[in-house]
Structure 1
Amino acid sequence: MTFNRQRRDDPPPPDVAALKYRRVLLKLSGEMLAGDMKYGISPPVVDRLTDEIKQVHDMGVSLGLVIGGGNIVRGTLASQQGMDRVNADYMGMLATVINALALQDWLERKGTETRVLTAIRMEQLAEPYIRRRALRHLDKGRVVIFAGGTGNPYFSTDSAAVLRGIEMEADVIVKATKVDGVYTADPAKDATATFIPEISFLDALSRELGVMDAAALSLCKENGTPVIVCSLDSPDTVARVVRGERIGTLVHP
C-alpha cells in the first residue's frame, strides 16, 4: 500500500497559506476542564473549549492536543502528601487519558474526527502512540489528542506537550493558562506584576518565571520551537494566534 503523505515543504492549500502557523500543538491544563468546580469535568467548559478547537481545525490547521490531568489528580501534589512519586505520576497520566476521552467525545459529536494516542498502552480505549501513526492521522485531517504524558514518571505534561510538538513538527506550541501570558510574578498574588509580551527561552529559564518546567523549556530551546502562552478566556484566541495576531506572550529561541 502506498501512502501519499504531503511533505511539510510542499505548497500549502490556498486556505491554509494565509495562516502563520499551519501545524499547532495546543497544550491545555486539566484544571481548565473543571471550570469553577474544584475537581472533575464541567460539560459547559468542555463544550466551549471544543467549539474553539473545532473552529481552528476547520480553518485548515493541522492540530494536536495535549491535556493535563490536574482536575482529577496531580502526581506532584500527591507525592508531596506522602504517596510514592512513581505511583502518583502514573495516576496523573491515567487522569490525562480520562480528559482526552472527554475531549474526543465532545469533538466527535460536533463532527470533528479525532484520534486519542496514549503513551501507556490501553488498546480498548485508544491507540498506542507511534510517531508515524500520529503524523498519518494529522495528514488525514484528524485532531490528534496525545494522552498519558510521556509514559514515564518525573516528567510533566508540559514536557509531554513539547516532546509531541517537536515530534509532529509543529510550527508553534500554544500553552493555554489561566492568565493572559507571562508576568514578572504571579499577578493573582502580586499587584506589581508586569506583563511580558516577548521573552527568550534563556531569560525565561534564568528568571524562573514558571512558563514551563526547565526540561520543557530546554527542549524548546534546543529545537527552536516557539511557545505562545495565552488564556482561552476570550473567544477565538487560538484562531487569532494561528492567523498571526500577537496574543499572550511569545517565548522564542
Structure 2
Amino acid sequence: MSLRFRRALLKLSGEVLGGKEGPLDSGAFSFYAGEIRRACAKGAELAVVVGGGNVARGAALTFIPPTAGHTAGMLGTLINAIVLREFLQKEGVRTLLMSALPVEGVAEAVDPWRAKEALAQGAVVLFAAGTGNPFVTTDTAAVIRALSVEAEAVLKASKVPGIFEDDPLKNPNAKLIPRLSHGEYLARGLRVMDAAAVAIAQENRLPIVVFQADREGAILEALEGKRGSVIGGEG
C-alpha cells in the first residue's frame, strides 16, 4: 500500500522507551529503531521528537525551581535521543541528531534547512530538548518541528489504539473516535495531545495521528493511514 504521509514526524514519549530494564529499556529502543528502519525502507522520511519522562519529568521535580526542573527534563530527552541514535545506527539507519540545547560533539543546534536536506537524503532526524524553553511540552515541540521540516503529519505514539470517548484502560467499553477536527478535539477538552500543540496544528492545517505504536508494523500502518485516530486532515 502506498504511503499517505511520506514525510512525517514521529513523537515518541519517554514512557514508551522505559520498561523492565528500567528508565532506559534496550528492548524498547531496539524495537522502535527496527520499526523506524522498516518504515524508511518503504520510502518514508521520518523525523523524531523524543520525550524525556522516563529519565526526568520536569513538572515532577518540585524540590527545585520549575525552570530548573524543565531544563532537567529537556536534557532527559537528549539522553533518549542519544540512545535511540545508537540503536538506529545498529539497524544501518543514517541519523542526524539536533538539539534545542546543543552539546558540542554530541548534538548540533536545530537547523530546519539542514534537517530537511538530511531527510531528503534518507537520514532520520532526531530532535531533542523540546523547544529549548521551559513550560513547553514535547508535544508542542513535535508540532513545531514537524512544521519546520514541512512534514505532512505528526504521528503520536501511544499505548492505546487511538483517541477514545473515555479512558480505554479504565473503561473497556469506551468507543474509539476514528477522526475529529482540531476544533472538536479542543472543544472536548481531550488530553491525549497537549492543547497548545493541537492549536498550533490547527492554525497550520497539520494532521495528527494518534496510534498504538508497540505492535510490529504500526508506524508503517500509521503512515499508510491504516491505523489510529486522526485529528484534522479533513479530505
TM-score by length of 1: 0.88
Count of matched residue positions in the alignment of Structure 1 and Structure 2? 233
- The residue identity in structure 2 corresponding to 1:24 is A
Secondary structure of the 2:210 match is strand
Structure 1: segments with no counterpart, 5+ residues: 1-16
Percent of paired sites with the same residue: 37
After TM superposition, where is structure 1 displaced by more than 4 Å over at least 4 residues in a row? none
For the residues of structure 1 that align with 2:13 and 2:191, how far apart are their CA atoms? 14
Q: CA-to-partner distance for each residue in 1:25-78, whole Å, 9 max, x for gaps?
A: 0000101111245x4111111111111000011111111000000101111222
Alignment check: 8 A CA contact 2:211 2:222 kept: no
CA–CA distance in 1 between the matches of 2:139 and 2:82?
A: 19
Alpha-carbon spacing, 1:185–1:83, altered in 2? closer, same or farther (3 Å): farther
The Cα of 1:135 is off from its aligned counterpart by: 1.1
Q: Distance in 2 between matches of 1:238 and 1:181?
A: 13
Secondary structure of 2:147 counterpart:
helix
After superposition, what is the alpha-carbon deviation per residue over 1:135-172, rounded to whole angstroms, capped at 9, x for unaligned?
Answer: 12112211000001000001000000000001111111
Residue matched to 2:72: 91
The CA distance in 1 between the partners of 2:60 and 2:173, in whole Å, is: 28
Compute the RMSD of aligned alpha carbons.
1.5
Distance in 2 separating the partners of 1:117 and 1:89: 18
Which residue of structure 2 aligns with residue 249 of structure 1?
A: 229
Taking the aligned partners of 2:32 and 2:90, their CA distance within structure 1 comes to 14
User: Rg: which structure is higher?
Assistant: 1
- Unaligned segments of structure 2, at least 5 residues: none
Matched-pair contact (CA < 8 Å) for 1:138–1:144: yes
When normalised by structure 2's length, the TM-score is: 0.95
- The residue number in structure 2 matching 1:40 is 23
Equivalents in 1 of 2:37, 2:71: separation in Å? 30
Q: Distance in 2 between matches of 1:191 and 1:139?
A: 42
- Whether the 8 Å CA contact 1:174–1:228 is kept in 2: the answer is yes
Find the residue that maps to 1:150 and give its secondary structure: coil
Deviates more, 1:187-196 or 1:66-75: 187-196
Cα pair 1:185 1:209 within 8 Å, conserved: no
Contact 2:207 2:230 in 1 (8 A): yes
Given the alignment, which residue of 127, 134, 143 partners 1:162? Answer: 143
1:203 counterpart letter in structure 2: E
Counterpart AA for 1:19: L
Q: Is the contact between residue 116 and residue 149 of structure 2 (CA under 8 Å) also seen in structure 1?
A: yes
Alpha-carbon deviation of 1:191?
4.0
Which residue is equivalent to 1:7?
none
Are 2:88 and 1:103 aligned? no
3-state SS of paired residue (1:45): helix
Report the AA paired with residue 228 of structure 2: G
User: Offset of 1:192 from its aligned partner?
Assistant: 4.3
2:120 corresponds to which letter in structure 1? D
